Each structure stands twice: as structure tokens, then as C-alpha cells.
């Protein structure tokens, strides 16, 4: 009569315990089959075996109360598999922890595609929080990526030339703290042909290489300023063959250490041009100067199949080699790698940030005030692109051996809580960064991603869903959204995640169950951040 019958599919002991403490009774489910209709009276031997395995995992067979409700409809359903719930079969008074068609923002290709539509819904610019991304299976996006890679190489060449000459350009990027600045007076343009040559094997490459990069970037700046909006787009300055030669020389400079000649006039043009581009390109600072891109399977999780690449032909070859005839177009995405991340003791990390959606119409979003960091097992280096240094996923790092001489203050289990991050930031003189930059940026990114996909998700009044967003921070503490996960893992991998995963499940039930009966009840660490 009180409709306190629940069903849980999968190992969620915290959810089971919390519901039973509220007086709910569990209707045990077989390991297979869909939820939403009355249970079948007869099960196959395979279903019985799966049920026995789950019962053993949960601590025993159904209780007497559970047996009494086996023929009853569960009014609260929690499962970790979207396929286990067919929302079309559910009654209006059944609550389930999933929505339909959330792949619009929980797959890499969905997020890549739909965030471009954000300016239609909001004044927010996705380039301020989501590294630019392309679906390589779509012909137009593949070509757009090639053009982006070339332009990024041109900008990167200018930045590399200035950095090697000892200049630090305000507003774009800072050199690593370990890199000494070269004390060198900037030659004036009226001095006849002053040259600044960067060190490297063999003779320096001619100033013409820098001149080409300057012209390309100047034309790009003009297009960003809409100078060509009323006329035909300017003719390309370089052909495909020219770009192939330019990229070969760029690789020699940036990746092989070749010298580069830079005139005094070019130096001043580089500085002025990059300052102007910094005002137009929100990602100029984080993109670095090595043109690293990360190739991701569009619909996989836990870091599977992800590789980093620094050469255009390598990215295109990897994507083509990975694509089997059965793989649908657009599944592989390539994304600009954040080359200037915030590091802790020289090590890269990302952060898992939970949020909860309790309605899509009107869109209602709750942000969790607790989160956790995941560290790589080896020091960050752009000269070595192995997973141990660049992929923070727990499933990847547990296969990697920690580096010798690892900083003693880094956690052995590779995880920190966000409170430990805040303490660290206070120690290094950035106490206000968490509340003033990081959290507001993550909230804005979450709401932006949801608004861009809102019209595509299957809205249902009796549903809710908990998501896990992964962010990385730039050197300036600006958050960059990497991906959003449906059904984020609740399996504890450390003491930190054991505590936080239990607390987020507890507080989720406070929002979706307790608050229905008492709108003023505490919601734990959940904060309502958006309601249309």
C-alpha cells in the first residue's frame, strides 16, 4: 500500500542497505530480462544461475519479506545497465535511475557533436570549457580537423620560436617552472637583419618557415575578426603540398630539436600576433606548442583504445586502421590534448565530479560538492606519450608500475579527495582557486553540456540519473570537460572513493526519495544549481 518495494540490479550494497533502513522491501530480480512488467513465473536455467550468483554476491537468498513481494511491481528501480530498463513498459508511479537516449552527451561522439549547438541555447562558448573535437568518420569534420591541425602547427611554431628565444608571452602560456628564461634583449626592427637562432642539431631552418607561419596566422586572425564576412573567403596561402613540407619542417623544430632562425622584425610580429590571437582563441594557452592530439573510440569507456599522437599522418592512419568495416561512421573522435595542465608534484591528474538530473522538462540539475582526483603513476612529460603519464583512468593506471623516485606526497592508491586538493592549493598560494575558478567553471560546463542535448534525451517524470563528469584543469586552474559518464562506477578503488561513493549514493536517495515527502529535508552534499 505504501509502494515501498524496490528492485536493484547489480552489486549496490549501499543502495540496498539504505532502502531497507527506510522500510523498503526488495523484490529480487533474475540477472537477465527487462524491468518494467510483471515478473515471469518461469525462468530458464541460465537465469536461475545468474540469480543464484547475484544472491551469493548480496549475502544470501531472498528474505521472507522479499518472497512475499516477488509478484509485486517494484516502485523504485536502480540498475547499472540502460538495457535492463525499458521505460516504455514502466508505470507512471515507478521510479528508475535512467533516462533514454542520454548518449547525446554521455558518448564522446555525442558530446563532440551536440556541444557545437550550445550557442543556440545559451550565450556560453563551448570552446571555453571543452577542448575542440572532431568526428573522424564524418568527411567534413575530418577535413576541418586537418585544417585545425595545420593552423595549430603554425601557431605552435611561433610560440616555440619565441620561447626558445627567451620570450614569455603574457596571456598565452607560461614555460615550465624548471625551464630557465634566457636573459636576452629583444632586437629592434630598425637594426638591419638581426637574427635570433635557436639551438639545435644541424643548421637552423630559414626565416621563411616563420614567415609562412606568420602569414597563415595573420590570415586566420582576419577571418576570426570577420574581415571577410561580406566577401569571398580569402584564397589559401598554401597548397596541400606546401603544408606537407611545412609540417615536416615543423616536426623537425618541435619534436627533433632542429634550430630555427628568427629575425628581430619577425619576433615583434610573433609577439603582437599571438597577443591578438589570445583574445580570439580561448584555447590558445592550454594547447601548448607540440600539437598533441588524443584519439578516442567514440563509445568506449575506462580509457580503452585511447592514444596520443603528434603528427597528422599518424592520427589519420590510426583512425583508419582502427575503423573496421562494421564500425559506423563518426565513432572515432580526435580532440586537442591539454598540453598545459595543472600538475601536482609534476604529475597529471583529473577529477571525477558527480551531478544528478531529476527532470529534463524543466531541466533540473544538482551538483555534488564532493569529488575525487585520479593521478597518473608516472611524471607528466610531452616527450613520452605513454598511458602511465597521460591517462588518469583507474583501470589504466592499475596496470602501470609507479615510477621510481615518485614524490613521497603523492598517494600510493592514486586518489585524493577534493578537500586534499584544496589544502594543496592553499599551500602553493592559490587558496581561492577552488571556489572562485574551478567549481564555477565545472558547474557552467555541466549545465552547458546538458542544455545542448536537452531536446534529444528521453524525458520521463518518474526518472532520475546520476552522472560522472571528468575534468582536467589548466595551469590557470580553468576546468576543461573531457567526458560525461552514465552509470559512473560505485565500486570503491581506494579509501577515498569508498567513502565518497557511499556518500553520493546516500545523498542521491535523499534527493529522489526523501525530498518527495519533505521538500525541506537535507540533501547532503547535493546543491541545486540549475532549474529552468
Per-residue DSSP letters for 345-406? Answer: TTB-EEEEEEEEEEEETTEEEEEEEEEEEEE-SS---SS---HHHH---HHHHTTSPPPTT-
Per-residue model confidence as pLDDT tens for the chain (532 residues): 889 999 998 889 999 999 999 999 999 876 544 454 444 444 444 444 444 444 444 545 667 788 888 889 999 999 987 656 777 788 889 999 999 999 999 999 999 999 999 988 888 899 999 999 999 989 999 999 999 999 999 999 999 999 887 765 544 444 443 333 322 332 223 323 333 344 455 567 777 999 999 999 999 999 987 755 555 667 788 999 999 999 999 999 999 988 888 888 999 999 999 999 999 999 999 999 999 999 987 555 555 678 999 999 999 988 876 544 444 444 789 999 999 999 999 999 999 999 999 999 999 999 999 999 999 988 999 999 888 888 878 776 676 677 777 899 999 999 999 999 999 999 999 999 999 999 999 999 999 999 999 999 999 998 999 999 999 999 999 999 999 999 899 988 899 999 999 999 999 999 999 999 999 999 999 999 999 9
Residues 393 and 522 reside in one and the same domain: yes
Q: What is the dihedral of CA 62, 66, 72, 73, to 10 degrees?
A: -80
CA distance 19 to 509: 8
Residue 91, domain member (yes or no): no
CB 173 within 8 A of CB 190: no
pLDDT of residue 522: 96
| 79, 382, 443 from 474: Cα distances, Å | 35, 15, 16
Q: Please list, in sequence order, all residues whose beta carbon lies within 8 angstroms of the beta carbon of residue 41, skipping any fewer than 6 positions away.
A: none
Question: Which of 337, 363, 379 is a domain's end point?
Answer: 337
Number of domains in the chain: 3
The parent domain of residue 22 ranges over 5-29+45-80
Does this model's pTM top 0.75? My answer is: yes
DSSP class of residue 455 equals G
pLDDT of residue 188: 28
Residues 160 and 214 reside in one and the same domain: yes
Residue 15, SS3 per DSSP: helix
Residues 119 and 158 reside in one and the same domain: no
pLDDT of residue 346: 95
Strand 363-375 with 526-531, pairing: antiparallel
Residues 327 and 385 reside in one and the same domain: no
CA distance 399 to 497: 19
Residue 86, domain member (yes or no): no
Residues 478 and 389 reside in one and the same domain: yes
Question: Which of 303, 322, 337 is a domain's end point?
Answer: 337
Alpha carbon 111 to its chain centroid, in Å, reads 10
CA distance 183 to 479: 33
Residue 100, domain member (yes or no): no
Question: Which of 304, 322, 337 is a domain's end point?
Answer: 337
Residue 322, domain member (yes or no): yes
Residues 399 and 524 reside in one and the same domain: yes
Residues 299 and 412 reside in one and the same domain: no
CA distance 451 to 330: 22
Cβ neighbours around 80 below 10 Å, total: 18
Residues 348 and 324 reside in one and the same domain: no
Residue 462, domain member (yes or no): yes
Strand 479-486 with 332-336, pairing: unpaired
Residue 292, domain member (yes or no): yes
Residue 179, domain member (yes or no): no
Residue 34, domain member (yes or no): no
Residues 402 and 368 reside in one and the same domain: yes
Residues 358 and 332 reside in one and the same domain: no
Residues 425 and 514 reside in one and the same domain: yes
Residues 458 and 495 reside in one and the same domain: yes
Strand 95-96 with 133-135, pairing: unpaired
Amino acid at each position: 500500500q505504501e509502494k515501498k518495494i524496490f528492485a536493484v540490479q547489480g552489486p549496490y550494497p549501499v543502495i540496498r542497505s539504505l532502502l531497507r533502513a527506510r522500510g523498503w522491501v526488495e523484490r529480487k530480480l533474475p540477472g537477465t530480462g527487462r524491468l518494467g512488467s510483471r515478473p515471469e513465473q518461469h525462468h530458464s536455467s541460465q537465469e536461475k544461475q545468474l540469480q543464484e550468483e547475484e544472491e551469493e554476491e548480496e549475502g544470501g537468498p531472498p528474505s521472507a519479506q522479499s518472497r512475499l513481494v516477488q509478484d509485486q511491481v517494484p516502485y523504485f528501480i536502480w540498475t547499472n545497465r540502460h538495457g535492463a530498463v525499458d521505460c516504455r513498459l514502466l508505470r507512471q508511479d515507478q521510479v528508475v535511475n535512467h533516462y533514454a537516449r542520454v548518449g547525446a552527451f554521455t558518448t564522446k561522439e555525442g558530446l563532440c557533436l551536440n556541444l557545437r549547438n550550445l550557442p543556440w541555447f545559451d550565450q556560453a562558448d563551448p570552446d571555453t570549457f571543452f577542448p575542440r573535437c572532431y568526428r573522424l568518420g564524418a568527411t567534413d569534420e575530418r577535413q576541418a580537423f586537418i585544417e585545425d591541425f595545420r593552423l595549430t602547427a603554425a601557431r605552435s611554431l611561433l610560440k616555440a620560436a619565441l620561447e626558445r628565444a627567451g620570450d614569455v608571452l603574457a596571456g598565452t602560456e607560461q614555460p615550465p617552472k624548471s625551464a630557465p628564461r634566457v636573459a636576452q634583449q629583444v632586437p629592434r626592427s630598425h637594426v638591419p637583419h638581426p637574427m635570433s637562432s635557436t639551438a639545435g642539431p644541424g643548421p637552423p631552418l630559414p626565416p621563411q618557415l616563420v614567415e609562412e607561419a606568420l602569414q597563415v596566422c595573420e590570415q586566420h586572425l582576419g577571418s576570426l575578426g570577420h574581415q571577410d564576412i561580406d566577401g569571398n573567403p580569402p584564397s589559401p596561402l598554401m597548397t596541400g603540398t606546401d603544408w606537407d613540407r611545412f609540417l615536416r619542417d615543423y616536426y623537425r623544430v618541435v619534436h627533433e630539436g632542429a634550430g630555427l632562425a628568427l629575425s628581430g622584425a619577425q619576433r615583434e610580429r610573433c609577439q603582437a600576433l599571438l597577443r591578438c590571437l589570445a583574445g580570439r582563441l580561448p584555447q590558445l594557452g592550454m594547447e601548448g606548442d607540440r600539437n598533441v592530439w588524443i584519439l578516442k573510440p567514440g563509445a568506449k569507456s575506462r580509457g580503452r583504445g585511447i592514444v596520443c599522437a603528434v603528427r597528422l599522418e599518424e592520427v589519420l592512419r590510426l583512425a583508419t586502421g582502427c575503423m573496421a568495416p562494421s564500425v559506423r561512421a563518426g565513432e572515432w573522435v580526435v580532440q586537442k590534448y591539454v598540453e598545459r595542465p595543472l600538475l601536482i608534484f609534476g604529475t597529471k591528474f583529473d577529477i571525477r565530479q558527480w551531478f544528478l538530473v531529476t527532470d529534463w522538462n524543466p531541466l533540473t540539475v544538482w551538483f555534488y560538492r564532493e569529488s575525487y582526483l585520479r593521478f597518473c603513476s608516472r611524471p607528466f612529460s610531452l616527450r613520452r606519450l605513454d598511458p602511465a603519464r597521460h591517462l588518469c583512468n583507474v583501470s589504466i593506471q592499475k596496470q602501470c608500475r609507479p615510477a621510481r623516485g615518485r614524490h613521497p606526497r603523492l598517494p600510493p592508491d592514486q586518489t585524493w579527495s577534493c578537500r586534499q586538493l584544496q589544502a594543496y592549493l592553499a599551500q602553493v598560494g592559490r587558496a581561492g582557486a577552488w571556489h572562485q575558478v574551478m567549481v564555477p567553471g565545472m558547474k557552467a560546463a555541466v549545465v552547458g553540456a546538458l542544455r545542448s542535448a536537452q531536446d534529444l534525451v528521453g524525458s520521463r517524470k518518474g526518472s532520475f540519473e546520476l552522472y560522472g563528469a571528468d575534468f582536467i584543469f589548466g595551469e590557470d586552474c580553468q576546468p576543461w570537460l573531457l567526458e560525461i559518464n552514465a552509470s559512473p562506477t560505485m565500486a570503491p578503488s581506494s579509501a577515498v572513493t569508498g567513502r565518497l561513493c557511499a556518500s553520493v549514493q546516500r545523498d542521491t536517495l535523499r534527493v529522489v526519495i526523501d525530498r518527495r515527502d519533505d521538500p525541506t529535508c537535507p540533501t547532503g552534499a547535493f546543491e541545486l544549481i540549475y532549474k529552468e
